């Protein structure tokens, strides 16, 4: 079986690498991918959305629908892990899982974490808010926010962290983030434009359509960040404690 797989992958790989010939050269500015859609984006994005970070603009606006479902993927993953691991069936537990032993509490670690976490969260907020102009956005910021909680849990312990950030509020926030995203889209729909057409907000907020695009994107990025933050921490909490939410690593 193993040999067969190896053989198959080798043959497939050889064929694929041979066929790379047919692909455009790496870095070729005249390849179809670089000449068909992307020039339009590059030339018009600032005019159409007033957001200079092309990736953010496409992510949150042109392909905002994709990104909404991407958030849903995260949300879904969190719920999935939760449903799989947090099952109250202790009876037929064959093996008691070997728990990583924690020897005392490390003061240096804890103090460093205490020093590190506030700037980390601040940075995360910056990443979210400044995603229009620099690399970053909801995902990155959300992950960093989530990581700050993970750091807290790693340096202290999970139980203590969970007191700060309860499981039920994790769920609430994860749902809330998606709700903010989809809600912004639905409001556009109610205001008479298509789903996720942020321009619809302009009359409502009394701003120009261009600004509405920018604000809409910020709104959805915040939604994304909330969900991602909650789910990243929830993933860690469930996986690190084997679903029991007690000690963690």
CB of 125 to other proteins, least distance (A): 14
Give the residue, chosen from 161, 202, 243, 245, that forms a contact with other proteins under the rule CB under 8 A: 243
> Least CB distance from residue 107 to other proteins, whole Å?
22
Q: Binders of other proteins among 5-24, rule CB under 8 A?
A: 5-6, 9-10, 12-13, 16-17, 19-24
Angle between helices 138-155 and 107-129 (to 10 degrees): 170
Q: Is 122 in the site for other proteins (CB under 8 A)?
A: no
Q: Where are the alpha helices (DSSP H) in 93-190?
A: 107-129, 138-155, 158-164, 167-190
From CA 161, how far away is CA 150, in angstroms rounded?
A: 9
Nearest approach, Cβ of residue 158 and other proteins (Å): 10
Q: Which is nearer to other proteins, 23 or 115 (CB)?
A: 23
Among 120, 128, 147, 187, binds other proteins (CB under 8 A): 147
Tell me the C-alpha distance between 32 and 20, whole Å. 15
Closest approach of Cβ 226 to other proteins, in Å?
12
* Region binding other proteins by CB under 8 A among candidate stretches 31-39, 103-111, 112-120: 31-39
Where b means 16+ CB within 10 Å and e means fewer, 16-55 reads: eeeeeeeeeeeeeeeeeeeeeeeeeeeeebeebbbbebee
**Binding test (CB under 8 A) with other proteins, winner from 120, 156, 238, 245:** 238
Which residue number, 42 or 205, has a Cβ lying nearer to other proteins?
42
Nearer to other proteins, 12 or 205 (CB): 12
* Rounded-to-10 torsion of CA 41, 42, 48, 50: 140
Span 174-233, contacts to other proteins by CB under 8 A: 174-176, 178-179, 182, 186, 189, 192-199, 210, 228, 232
Per CB under 8 A, 242 contacts other proteins: yes
How many residues line the site for other proteins (CB under 8 A)? 122
Tokens at residue 72, please?
């849903």
SS3 call for 91: coil
**Of residues 120, 136, 156, 245, which one binds other proteins by CB under 8 A?**
136
Hey, which residues between 44 and 73 contact other proteins (CB under 8 A)?
A: 45-47, 50, 52-56, 58-59, 61-67, 69-70, 72-73
Does 168 contact other proteins by CB under 8 A? yes
| Residue with Cβ nearer other proteins (28 or 205) | 28
- CA distances to 99, 114, 157, 169, 232 from 160, rounded to whole Å, are 18, 14, 6, 15, 17
Cα separation, 220 vs 236, whole angstroms: 24
Torsion of CA 155, 160, 166, 167, to 10 degrees: 70
């Amino acid at each position: 079986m193993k040999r067969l797989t190896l053989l198959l992958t080798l043959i497939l790989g050889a064929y694929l690498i041979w066929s790379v010939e047919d692909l455009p050269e790496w870095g070729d500015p005249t390849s179809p991918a670089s000449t068909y859609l992307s020039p339009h984006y590059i030339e018009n994005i600032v005019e159409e959305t007033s957001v200079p970070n092309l990736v953010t603009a496409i992510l949150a606006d042109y392909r905002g629908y994709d990104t909404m479902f991407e958030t849903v993927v995260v949300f879904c993953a969190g719920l999935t892990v939760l449903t799989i691991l947090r099952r109250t069936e202790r009876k037929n537990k064959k093996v008691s899982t070997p728990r990583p032993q924690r020897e005392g509490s490390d003061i240096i670690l804890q103090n460093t974490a205490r020093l590190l976490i506030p700037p980390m969260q601040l940075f995360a907020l910056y990443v979210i808010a400044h995603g229009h102009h620099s690399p970053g956005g909801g995902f990155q910021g959300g992950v960093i926010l989530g990581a700050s909680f993970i750091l807290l849990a790693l340096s202290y312990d999970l139980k203590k962290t969970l007191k700060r950030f309860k499981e039920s509020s994790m769920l609430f926030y994860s749902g809330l983030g998606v709700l903010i995203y989809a809600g912004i889209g639905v409001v556009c729909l109610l205001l008479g434009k298509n789903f996720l057409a942020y321009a619809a907000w302009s009359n409502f907020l009394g701003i120009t359509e261009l600004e509405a695009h920018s604000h809409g994107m910020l709104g959805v990025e915040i939604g994304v960040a909330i969900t991602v933050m909650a789910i990243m921490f929830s993933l860690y909490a469930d996986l690190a404690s084997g679903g029991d939410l007690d000690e963690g690593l």
